């Protein structure tokens, strides 16, 4: 047991400097759930929350089950606080479990277990993910431990280990839904070893436990908890569209070449073995870079993309080619090559899962395929290199790989610290506040703003009042709200010339017509005439008449028209849209939004809502007019984006530029470690001292009219 203890000491030593890393990326959501565990241990996801400005009545249908939150809660209980140090200290157990499990797994599949364990722990993607509180490293640690225990049980015919391995597989699947892939993987190993009892143990025992958990949640939430997630991935995000599949595959190859086995060492090694392979990889990478949807980038970043892509292709070819070339022999005797089949199936199975089941590429998604990648690489090296060359390669790979991992981890540490630093800067600048704080972003910003008493502002949220403060980041997933300078409002759009008539109920003395007007195509119009008349069987009167110029029409304009003179009368309100002075109606569109009849003292409650009665309205078109719309309709409903009267005023902007030029997430530097949506490089370098994050603070100067806004919801049925 000397080596496992030594590995434990090494892992703790290399991770201890990052024990105080600020809450980062999705950490705050898991911390939120961990706090809920102490309040509602049975169903901690029963908590309503805004996330990226959308409202969720609960978090049951998030991307991961809640086991990570329980682990965080236990860590907080032991350490008696939810601080960064306390929670990271508790999560230190997972890198230790991973290193020790990899050691024992490597003893089974290679002749160099210590080498394999060190190679795995020095991978940049593994090292970076060891310093946050998300599900990825706990999944990898439990996954690897489950494989070790189950394989030992199959090889040693020990039923207790089979059950233990199956239980660990259940825990892995309760950390992340990706852990469900572990069940068929364990069944594959049992089948290769002709152990039918082991297959039954995993299929019946582990499968029943997972089904039971989902059944309990279905009974409580009245829905399949991951149903909305699957619907979004494959319905809304079109995760299986050919172009997206190609992009995900490309990104994963680039990530494999950039943050797994150090790319330079990979290239040197495989060039020495077969020079043509690396030439082919570079050629393929150049072709991919020509067709992939990469934004305009500098030549340096494009070269880096080609380098990483070629490295990933070389790595995959170097690992898989020997096994593919021996495929006919393996197929004739599958069980005779059980170890080879198992490791290759593990690697390719997870690669396929990432390509098919995720809506985007992400460096952390490849974690479950890193153990077989390392094991297959070491096995290949053991066959091709003598002892001396093998030691040199291992030393170079571990040293260079860890050097890159350390540099990226430091960059990530400083990136995460931006939001903790901003919270301190914000407090020192504004001091104790009586007004409320709102924010429009996620990641660490959420954690530290909530610590100051802040609330996340919803996309269609009108709660802020005059004097409240609004915090808006430039990087941490900002989104648009009703307080932005440009807003989109569901509107009735009229094309000139046309008329729109609504029957209205009897009016009262305190009634008024409230509406907002604007011009969707103000750049193409020379002005629009808008008139509002009241028409009844015995009376007709003009209530409102205005010609909007194109400059006026670019901004939403609020109007309130008293209707007291029409008290007791029944009739119709007629809206007329006419072309401007030139008589050319091209672009003469007018948007009528939030139109309703309101009684004094009823706040925004509508006595009569025109948008909801649009289907019952009478539309009159001009004879022979061509409106150039589907069905030649002059009136239709649409969300229109226009400027609005400023609702906030700028107070201060904080700019943060870490001294390291390495970027793990930055659209301008095309770095997308956390998602390929930011860039196709897992990391890159910024030029100069450009700020990585800019956070602006505003003061709310007026309340907004949010009438008719439907709260953006996480769930489609709300």
174 and 139 Cβ atoms separated by less than 8 Å: no
Domain chopping of the chain, boundaries = 486-643
Indicate the CATH number of 486-643 among 2.60.120, 1.10.1740, 2.60.40, 1.10.357: 2.60.120
- CB distance 483 to 451 below 8 Å: no
Q: What is the pLDDT of residue 297?
A: 63
The DSSP call for residue 711 is: P
CA 424 to chain CA centroid, nearest Å = 27
Per-residue pLDDT at 370: 93
Q: How confident is the model at residue 487 (pLDDT cuts 50, 70, 90)?
A: very high
Look up tokens 């700020």; give the residue.
691
pLDDT band per the 50, 70, 90 thresholds, residue 295 = low
The yes-or-no verdict on residue 95 having pLDDT over 80 is yes
Question: Who's near 333: CB < 8 A, 6+ residues apart?
Answer: none
578 beta partners = 529
Per-residue model confidence (pLDDT) at position 268: 53
**What confidence tier does 541 reach under pLDDT thresholds 50, 70, 90?**
confident
pLDDT number for residue 442: 93
Choice among 424-438, 512-526, 633-647 with the minimum mean pLDDT: 424-438
Q: Determine the average pLDDT of the residues in 618-631.
A: 81
pLDDT > 80? residue 287: no
What letters, b where the CB count within 10 A reaches 16 and e where it falls short, cover 196-210? Answer: eebbebbbebbbebb
Q: What is the mean pLDDT of residues 619-626?
A: 81
The predicted pLDDT at position 284 comes to 67
pLDDT of residue 474: 93
Query: For 136-159, what is each residue's pLDDT tens digit?
Result: 999 999 999 999 999 999 988 888
pLDDT in tens, 588-616: 899 999 999 887 655 555 678 888 889 88
Of the listed ranges 175-179, 571-575, 582-586, the one predicted with least confidence: 582-586
- Identify the pLDDT of residue 107: 93
For 586, residues 6+ apart whose C-beta sits below 8 A from its C-beta are 524, 525
Q: In terms of pLDDT, which residue wins out, 677 or 700? A: 700
pLDDT at 264: 54
pLDDT higher than 90, residue 218: no
pLDDT (average), residues 540-559:
90
Q: Which residue has the higher pLDDT, 266 or 547?
A: 547
Q: What is the pLDDT of residues 99-138, one digit of tens each?
A: 999 999 999 999 899 999 999 999 999 999 999 999 999 9
Residue 185 CA to residue 198 CA, distance in Å, equals 12
* Bridge partners (DSSP) listed for residue 571: 504
Q: Within 10 Å of residue 341's Cβ, how many Cβ atoms?
A: 19
- Report the pLDDT value the prediction gives residue 225, as an integer from 0 to 100: 81
Count the neighbouring beta carbons within 10 Å of the beta carbon of residue 431. Answer: 7
Q: How far apart are CA 490 and CA 612, in angstroms?
A: 11
Query: What value does the mean pLDDT of the chain take?
Result: 86
Sign of the dihedral defined by the CA atoms of residues 588, 593, 596, 600, in that order: negative
pLDDT score of 11: 94
Q: Report residue 267's pLDDT band, with 50, 70 and 90 as the boundaries.
A: low
| pLDDT tier for residue 449 given thresholds of 50, 70 and 90 | very high
Question: What pLDDT is stored for residue 558 in this prediction?
Answer: 92
8-state DSSP, 326: T
Q: CA 163 to CA 205: how far, in whole Å?
A: 8
Answer yes or no: is pLDDT of 664 > 60: yes
Phi, psi of 135 (to 5 degrees): -85, -15
Q: Does the pLDDT at position 379 exceed 90?
A: no
Q: In this predicted structure, what is the pLDDT of residue 713?
A: 82
Question: For 407-448, how does the pLDDT look when each residue is reduced to its tens digit (9 = 90+)?
Answer: 999 999 999 999 999 999 999 888 776 779 999 999 999 999
- Cβ contacts of 419 within 8 Å, gap of 6 or more: 22, 23, 443, 444, 445, 447, 448, 476, 693
Residue 625 has pLDDT above 80, yes or no: no
* pLDDT on residue 627: 79
Q: Tell me the C-alpha distance between 208 and 188, whole Å.
A: 18
The count of residues in the chain is 718
Residue 333 has pLDDT above 90, yes or no: no
For residue 395, what is the enclosing H or E element? helix 387-430
Predicted pLDDT of residue 303: 80
Residue that wins the pLDDT comparison between 519 and 237: 519
Residue, of 716 and 203, whose pLDDT is higher: 203
Scored b (16 or more CB within 10 A) or e, 460-482 reads bbbebeeebbbbbbebbebbebb
Q: Lowest-confidence range among 163-177, 196-210, 256-270, 339-353?
A: 256-270
Angle (nearest 5°) at CA 122 between 149 and 341:
45
Distance CA 175, CA 167 (A): 13
Mean pLDDT of 45-49: 88
Q: Is residue 341 very low, low, confident or very high in pLDDT (cuts 50, 70, 90)?
A: confident
Mean pLDDT over 341-365 rounds to: 90
Q: Which residues of 604-632 are buried (b: 16+ CB within 10 A; e: fewer)?
A: eebbbbbbeebeebeeeebeeeebeeeee
Cα 75 to the center of its chain, rounded Å: 26
Cα–Cα distances in angstroms (integers) from residue 385 to residues 105, 370, 381, 382, in the given order: 22, 22, 6, 6
Residue 276 pLDDT: 60
């Amino acid at each position: 047991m000397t080596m496992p203890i030594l590995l434990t000491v090494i892992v703790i030593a290399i991770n201890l400097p990052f024990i105080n890393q600020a809450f980062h990326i999705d950490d705050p959501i898991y911390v939120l759930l961990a706090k809920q565990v102490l309040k509602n241990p049975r169903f901690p996801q029963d908590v309503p929350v805004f996330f990226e400005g959308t409202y969720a009545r609960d978090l049951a249908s998030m991307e991961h089950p809640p086991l990570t939150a329980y682990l965080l809660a236990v860590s907080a209980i032991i350490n008696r606080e939810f601080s960064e140090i306390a929670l990271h200290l508790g999560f230190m157990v997972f890198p230790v479990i991973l290193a020790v499990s990899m050691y024992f797994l490597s003893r089974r599949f290679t002749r160099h277990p210590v080498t394999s364990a060190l190679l795995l722990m020095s991978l940049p993607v593994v090292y970076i993910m060891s310093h946050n509180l998300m599900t990825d490293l706990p999944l990898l640690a439990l996954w690897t431990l489950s494989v070790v225990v189950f394989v030992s049980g199959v090889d040693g015919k020990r039923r207790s280990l089979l059950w233990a391995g199956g239980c660990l597989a259940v825990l892995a699947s309760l950390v992340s839904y990706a852990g469900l892939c572990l069940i068929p993987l364990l069944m594959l190993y049992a089948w290769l070893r002709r152990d039918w009892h082991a297959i039954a143990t995993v299929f019946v025992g582990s499968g029943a436990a997972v089904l039971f958990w989902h059944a309990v949640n279905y009974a409580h939430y009245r829905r399949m908890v991951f149903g909305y997630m699957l619907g979004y991935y494959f319905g809304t995000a079109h995760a299986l569209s050919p172009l997206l599949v190609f992009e995900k595959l490309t990104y994963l190859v680039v990530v494999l070449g950039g943050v797994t086995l150090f790319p330079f060492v990979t290239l040197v090694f495989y060039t020495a073995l077969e020079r043509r392979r690396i030439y082919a990889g570079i050629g393929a990478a150049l072709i991919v870079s020509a067709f992939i949807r990469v934004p305009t980038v500098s030549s340096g970043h494009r070269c880096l993309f080609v380098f990483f892509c070629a490295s990933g292709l070389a790595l995959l070819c170097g690992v898989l080619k020997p096994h593919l070339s021996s495929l006919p022999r393996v197929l004739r005797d599958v069980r005779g090559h059980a170890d080879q089949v198992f490791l290759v199936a593990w690697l390719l199975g997870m690669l396929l899962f990432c390509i098919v089941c995720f809506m985007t590429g992400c460096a952390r998604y490849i974690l479950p395929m890193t153990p077989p990648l390392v094991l297959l690489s070491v096995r290949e090296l053991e066959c091709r290199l003598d002892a001396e060359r093998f030691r040199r390669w291992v030393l170079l790979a571990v040293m260079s790989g860890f050097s890159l991992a350390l540099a990226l981890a430091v960059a990530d540490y400083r990136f995460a610290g931006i939001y903790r630093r901003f919270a301190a800067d914000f407090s020192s600048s504004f001091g104790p506040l009586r007004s409320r704080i709102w924010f429009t972003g996620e990641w660490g910003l959420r954690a530290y703003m909530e610590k100051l008493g802040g609330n996340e502002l919803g996309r269609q949220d009108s709660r802020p009042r005059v004097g409240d403060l609004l915090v808006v980041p430039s990087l941490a997933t900002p989104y648009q709200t009703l307080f932005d300078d440009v807003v989109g409002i569901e509107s009735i759009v009229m094309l000139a010339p046309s008329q729109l008539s609504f029957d209205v109920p009897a009016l009262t003395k305190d009634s008024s017509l409230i509406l907002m007007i604007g011009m969707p195509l103000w750049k193409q119009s020379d002005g629009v005439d808008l008139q509002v008349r009241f028409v009844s069987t015995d009376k007709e009167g003009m209530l409102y008449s205005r010609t909007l110029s194109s400059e006026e029409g670019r901004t939403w304009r609020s109007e309130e028209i008293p209707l007291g003179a029409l008290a007791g009368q029944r009739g119709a309100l007629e809206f007329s849209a006419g072309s401007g002075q030139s008589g050319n109606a091209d672009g003469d569109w007018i948007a009528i939004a939030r139109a309703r009849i309101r009684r004094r003292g009823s706040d925004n409650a509508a006595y009569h809502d025109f948008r909801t009665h649009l289907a019952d309205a009478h539309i009159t078109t001009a004879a022979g007019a061509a409106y150039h719309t589907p069905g030649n309709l002059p009136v239709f409903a649409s969300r229109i984006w226009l400027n609005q009267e400023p609702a906030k005023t700028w107070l201060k902007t904080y700019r943060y530029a870490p001294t390291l030029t390495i970027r793990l997430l930055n659209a301008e530097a095309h770095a997308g470690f956390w998602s390929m949506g930011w860039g196709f490089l897992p990391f890159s370098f910024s030029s100069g001292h450009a700020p990585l994050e800019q956070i602006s603070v505003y003061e709310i100067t007026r309340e907004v009219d949010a009438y008719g806004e439907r709260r953006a919801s996480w769930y489609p049925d709300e």
